[in-house]
Amino acid sequence: MTALIDQQNQTLSFTVRDRNGVIFEGKVLSVTSLNEKGEFDVLPLHSNFISIIREYVTARLVDGVEKRIPLQVGVLMVRDNGVEVYLGILH
């Protein structure tokens, strides 16, 4: 039996917002960032979680290009095969 790969399950929806609106929105292959325990990756179908992140968030776009967004601090939330990042929340 040949397993059919669902194209939708190979990507994550990824949104980065600040107080002024959406900075980036699109489908990505993975997301990498840094929290108090170190660097971590989020892949498609990742379990739900929330974390304070620092320094950067990097998305690997569907064409393989990496988009790195520098930051001081933010909140990263993984839910329903999507990643949302909120910047500028803490002063």
CATH of the domain at 16: 2.60.15.10
Tell me if 6 is assigned to some domain. Answer: no
In this prediction, residues 67-91 reach a mean pLDDT of 91
Closest CA to 24 of 64, 49, 59, 65: 59
Tell me if 70 is assigned to some domain. Answer: yes
Residue 89 pLDDT grade (very low, low, confident, very high; cuts 50, 70, 90): low
Per-residue pLDDT at 90 exceeds 70 = no
Tell me if 37 is assigned to some domain. Answer: yes
Tell me if 20 is assigned to some domain. Answer: yes
Least confident residue range of 35-39, 43-47, 54-58, 87-91: 87-91
pLDDT of amino acid 88: 83
Total count of domains within the chain: 1
Tell me if 24 is assigned to some domain. Answer: yes
Contact indicator for 17, 76 with CB cutoff of 8 Å: no
Structural domain boundaries enclosing 30: 11-87
Tell me if 73 is assigned to some domain. Answer: yes
Tell me if 22 is assigned to some domain. Answer: yes
> Rounded to two decimals, what is the model's pTM?
0.86
Per-residue pLDDT reduced to its tens digit, 2-53 = 333 445 579 999 999 999 999 999 999 999 999 999 999 999 999 999 999 9
Contact indicator for 55, 34 with CB cutoff of 8 Å: yes
Tell me if 52 is assigned to some domain. Answer: yes
